[in-house]
Structure 1
Amino acid sequence: MNTEEALILLDNLLKPKSLNSIQEIVFRHAWEGMGYREMARNCGYDANYLKDVGSKLWKLLSEILNQEVTKSNVRAVLGRYTRSLSIQTSLQTPQTQLEDVVVSSKLTSEVISHQNYKETLDRESTNSDLAVSSVAIAHPRIDWGEAVDVVVFYGRNEELTEFQKWIVDEECRLVALLGMGGLGKTTLSVKLAEKLQEHFDYIIWRSLRNAPLVEEILVDFIQFLSQSQETEATLAKDINGRILRLLEYLRSSRCLLVLDNVETILQGGDSLEETDTIRVGNYLPGYEGYGELFKRVGELRHKSCMLITSREKPKEFSSLEGDGFPVRSWQLTGLQAAEARKVVQLKGDFSGSEEDWDNVIKHYAGNPLALKIVAAAIQEILDGDISKYIEFLNKGLLVFDDLRDSLEHQFNRLSKAEKEIMYWLAIEREPVALSELQKNIILPIAKQKLPETLRALGQRSLIEKQGIFFTQKPDLMELVTQKFIECISEEIIIEQLSLLHSHFLVKAQAKDCIKEDRIRLILAPLAKKLVKQLGSKANLEIRLKDILENCRESQSFEPSYAEENLINILRYLNS
């Protein structure tokens, strides 16, 4: 029950009288949990005067309801009274399901005697099958906006349980659901809102995919929560005023606000200079107000929750979140094998060994969207034969534009420093420790910025941490490897070296299996690409020898992998 509904209830209880303006002020502020001094600061009246008005109001309500009413318990008393009305209605119409009972202002106009009310309270305490939880809301007001219709949903029990614990039991005010594209953040946010709706008076779900300004979102929220009593014309023009007004509603009612696709309003690292500090979670110009909104919602006291989904973590979370704080974030990963298999089987019947199934699911790290795209292709091209798909996959012959576009979009948002670390992780192929990466990196500034860069990549949901080791998901590693080959190829064609200096192609000290992988996945496709671009193997050899000679003649004292890399390509061509 929100403030307006409680006032309607009081009007019915007090008939033919009604609250005067001062009584209404006291009731509104008491409903929001304010003390008399805080009321006085807000409305300009003397605190003792307000206390006297309140004392007389609580005494009047105590007489009407035949039980003690105070500023502290008025919400609980009126809540029980309203539930008693709904229970009476359900007793009069046995065929009506209890969960379908609508607790609304209509019920407050029903006439029941105080004796019936007391009897109803007795029934509420003794008939557990009819009792309604004090935290349950019969029918919250919900605006789903552009939320997807979740027809099929597999797994995520751990996530749903943890989020319910955070939001309902621990009353977290700001929660982020983070992860790469395609993992199902949007779907999970909708499912979570559906699951938790009985705990809220209002639920509103909005997507930021089209990057609305924060001013527009604030108007949207307030207009919904005020039931259209407040509009853009009546609200403060400045962001601060609108945020404060929203917080009043978040204090007076239990609200769940969901913002999807928050990464749309965040700035990528591609705009940074090489020497810039890498900061993840900064906002695009004109969208900084979202940061203020998140900060206020996370810091200030209220009884509602804002849930956001994003591929990247907004910067405010770093200082606000923690196990002991009302701000949390969850890094979403892929589905478990059993659930991932069900997602694939939605597309039809498939044949393949258990190993084949495991290989496909592991390659796409249980990403539901990737698995749906791949499953459709296996059906259409290979008649559902997963083993044939694995053969093509091992040869690098199948690349799906939809998957590549999604991964490429995230990769292109990275800064130069972040891309270079992504190249190192793709070259390594296996999880690698920070200390090993530091040995590989020869440029001082890159070595110095390594911890910061790894942290940034983690906040962008682009790398995985396994204990002290770092790695990439297989499908992302495949894309990064292709990008690396494209860059090295271009450097050799135009004879302007950068990555060829800073990154090795084949590591002499690597395990034989890893060395073979690097030759097969990096050196071989690079040589093939260069031969095609230069017209022949002989032309490529001439180009490589010219560049090698220039490197030796330059007499640079800067450390470089260039000579070693050029020699390895020449050796491969003549092997």
Structure 2
Amino acid sequence: MKKIFTQQLRIADEMKSESEKLNYLTAIIRSILQLAVTTSLEVFSVSGYSEDTTLPELIERFHTPSDGMPIHILDLLIPILRCYIDSKFLIGFFEKRKEYPMPLSKELQDWVQFRNSRQGHGVLDNKKTIEWSQKTSTIIKQCLLVFEKIIPEITTEKTLHLKSNKLNLYIKSPMVIDNCAIVILKISQKKSGWQMKAQLLSHSDSDEILIQLPEENIFTPSSDLIENYKIIELESENGEYHILEHNIPIRQTDTFEGREKELKIFKEWINDEDSRKCLIYGDGGYGKTTLLLEALNSLLENGFKINTPLPTVICYYTAKMTRWTSDGLTHYTSIEPVLDESVRELMKCLYSVLPKEWYTVSGSALIDKAVNELKKNGYTRDDILLVLDNTETLATTTQETIELARLLQVLGKKLGRIIITSRRQEAIEAKPILIEGLTIKDCVNLLQALAHKHKAEPIRQAGETKLRKISEKLSRKPILLEALVVYIGRQRNISIDQAMENLYKRSNEELLEFLYEDAWNRISQLQKEVFYILVSLTCPLDQYSISRACQLLEIQHSELQSSLAETHFASVTDYGTHYSLELVDLAKRFFHKKLKELNSEEKRSIEKYAIEVDSYAKERESIELAYRKDRVAEAFRSDFAKAAKVAVDKGDICRAIENFELAIEDDPLNSALHDRYSWLLAHKVKDLNKALEMSEKSVILNNKNCDAVVNLALIQYRLGELELGDKNISTSVSLGRPESFAFLQMAIARFTMSRKSINTDTAYKYLLDAEILLNNAQKKHKARSGYDAKNLQEILKFKNLVLKKLNDFRLTKV
């Protein structure tokens, strides 16, 4: 890869325009820094370093990389990797080298300061342009020298191989495309998996590309646990900061066009605090949910300001007449249980796991119970915004419609403000927002955006007049416009008129059935078998059950999701870190019809797989409910505690400490709060003595708090108190942690002590003890869930590290 950067540097240096040269040199240095961070993270992932750092927050911020972010990450990583991998790792980053008078880190900081003050946000004159084009070229040469050992080679198989006297690994992150380096624009998780949006580092053709990342990648969050509610900080119109909890899914589309009038009405309703309910209604396929999620995400991102007090909790709930429990799929026969579920979903802002008493009441009694519980925690009905999506599924008869209207009135009056989406105009007093066809102009823009996304050349080449006619014929309905573009994008040598002839006279259902058959013929046999399993399941269709089905059939989860994203088989609720999927009724009938065409042996095989996935889902849910105690919800219930959590998420440690201190003063008997503060002090502030004090207080307040006991043990290990750490980690087993987990933590503590030990005999003894403990951990390991799988990965990783160190010791003694 070094040759690629050297070649691009030569191209830049030959440019006659200093301004053009500086711009391209900026892209080159950006690409090199991003590569350095990516490969360093890959090295870090196999280093055996187990102490939590501020790294997860930095990686999350690297998902949308700024020019200064790589420097912050390298500042943190290099000292760790010098300790754990190679004492001379990236020599020249902090130190001077004979070839250059200044350390690379200082040169890079000066470059970032110049980028921000002049090139990015200021005025760049000719003198500075010439000066910094020369400086940037020199800094790139210095980067190539300092980063030489972590710039991988491209093998004949087009893989990236990092090899030196201390390193030998293959880089999984795709940093070279078609023999061209890349510049990362954004890393995000979609329903199809993790994606990297990037540009080719090329002066002649810097195409924007979308790269599918492996399911296991260095940019993935370290925890599998899904929080019911995210806590964010918003700035209100008067400049005050406001803590908000929400479970809003992310936007449904990257190609949102128009709807200015509807968004304006929505903003007016948000600002009208006297109006309790808002109804977004219209025919299917016009984009009600798409508009709603666009508006709510804009609100969360401060995309528009509101004058009324901001809500404190926003709860999103998709109305369904089914619910999955450990006993299987339950079908509701009345409206009330579904609306009960929406109230329970709201109460998860206070509880990670709802206590059983919330399931013993329903209807008005449940609403009153929720109102009282919210009041206890300082919430009023003006603090709550409840979103009910797809309410038309709840009522089909006149009597059911009347009953639905009555219950919605009660919810709006007692619990909070409500936003409702429906295919019909519900008989309730609400601010109506009618969703009809897009404007002609917006249709044209949408067609052009979709054509670019799906590579539908006939649409891209069509004139505006042609696109206007298409839009009118398809009733200016987004779902039909998308169907046309997807169909043309899939076909080869088909004209717009031919595609229109196939689609124009079909109803929505006929159109979908036609697209199902078309999509079905294009997917592989393994993908078809996954859909057979999905339609046979009783458990929820989410990333876990779908991933398990793919695993059983040995097909990549991302491969299935990529094909699913191009069909109308299902509606997806995407929360960014996780998603749920619901097969469209017509698609279910389609799959069942296809399933019936299989022979008896094939049907038995599908049924066997479906039973296995259902069992896995039930087991996983029970383990997760047991694992996810109420510690997070319990810890962050006060305003000061929530502010502390937001500050931690943003990396503002000083502000987090200040708010934690105020929260503990406000709630001095909260064990979970002390535990979370202890974790911050230990892992972010590195104040182990204060962390130990807080952790011990947490355990005294609640000696059944398993997470607090584990945290105390880990702090004691870091302080070198192995005996005390072993005692508490053993206690955690009696509180529910697996034995394999306890042995693993004991082994990691001894592995760390061996590294810190100056005496070689003592270090050798620690490694021998660690080897025994890791063998015990592997023997005691039981594969029951994803958490156990992660434990096994850690056990195997540390076994390799310990064996390698023991071999080094033995060779030294020989």
Bigger RCO (CA 8 Å, 6+ sep):
1
Q: Same fold (TM over 0.5)?
A: no
- Greater C-alpha Rg: 1
User: Taking structure 1 as the reference length, what is the TM-score of the superposition?
Assistant: 0.38
The structure carrying a bigger strand percent of its residues is 2
